[in-house]
Amino acid sequence: MSFARHFFARPTAAFGFAVFLLIVVIALAAPLIFARGPFNIVGMPLLAPGSPGLLAGSDVLGRDMMVGLAYGARISLLVGVTSTLGAIGIGVLLGAVAGYYGGVVDDLLMRITEFFQIIPTFVLLMVLVAFMQPSLGSAVIGIALISWPQVARVVRGEFLSLREREFVQAARVLGLGDANIIFTQILPNALSPIVVISSMMVGNAILTESALSFLGLGDPNLLSWGSMIGGSRSAMWVAWWTTVLPGLCIVVTVLALNFIGDGLNDAFNPRRRG
């Protein structure tokens, strides 16, 4: 597959892929390696990294930072991937319909996406999550709801250009229904830009989820990197690792995803390289 070769030819893409894979493995393996969970209190609070048995130190409640970081990966990845899938689902659907039918439907979609561009989206997200009561589900739904417009715009653009193409007209002549044409004919050809931005979207979703948890709008029963940073606001003054380490995890994960995105972009658009 020349696609894979193109992708991995770029050193950053390969690096990003490897790192991301590692994080996924850690996330999946966390319950196996750290069976007692991240809430287990192992000793006195705010012990420095390198203390006996605590490679990453302990947090403000005396919990093992290392375990918290590993479990935090699960939340970040879960929210990042699910909300992105949700955003893509909604965005593809609405974008396809708008791009295919045009006219009033398209205008309506454009107005709605404009609305999302004009209002402060993070504030909207806060309102949504607060209204739905902070939880994992509300974070996923909220992030999906503010992320779909960008997907819809891209899909709409693709559909607008693709719907006049010959293979579509041929399909119509053959008597295929609209839904059929949309999903089986045009959509497969419109998806490559979505794939390219999907990894960036996951990265952004992870950043957004961590921001929500930082502000205390995340699930109070779960430990995520953002909530670890949020819970360390006072502790940072006496224990820097409670803030630095979870943040570094976020940076590494999102960086890896961005590298993957860059690689996908190059692989899909080989003429842009160089």
Residues that bind another protein (CB under 8 A): 12, 39-41, 44-46, 60-62, 111, 114-115, 117-124, 126-127, 130-131, 133-134, 203, 207, 210-211, 214-216, 220-221, 226, 229-231, 233-238, 240, 243-244, 246-247, 250-252, 254-255, 257-259, 262
Q: To the nearest whole angstrom, how small is the minimum distance from the Cβ of residue 243 to another protein?
A: 5
CA atoms of 66 and 55, how far apart (whole Å): 7
Exposed/middle/buried for 147, CB within 10 Å: 0-12, 13-18, 19+? buried
Please give the helix or strand (H or E) that residue 79 lies within, else none.
helix 65-101
Please give the helix or strand (H or E) that residue 200 lies within, else none.
helix 192-214
Q: To the nearest whole angstrom, how small is the minimum distance from the Cβ of residue 221 to another protein?
A: 5
For another protein, the closer of residues 91 and 230 by Cβ is 230
Who's near 118: CB < 8 A, 6+ residues apart? none
Q: To the nearest whole angstrom, how small is the minimum distance from the Cβ of residue 212 to another protein?
A: 10
Within 119-180, where are the H helices? Answer: 121-131, 136-162, 166-173, 178-180
Tokens matching residue 201: 């979207």
For another protein, the closer of residues 207 and 267 by Cβ is 207
Tokens matching residue 262: 């860059």
For another protein, the closer of residues 36 and 172 by Cβ is 36
Tokens 């939880």 — which residue? Answer: 135
For another protein, the closer of residues 56 and 186 by Cβ is 56
Q: To the nearest whole angstrom, how small is the minimum distance from the Cβ of residue 9 to another protein?
A: 17
CA atoms of 224 and 206, how far apart (whole Å): 10
For another protein, the closer of residues 62 and 102 by Cβ is 62
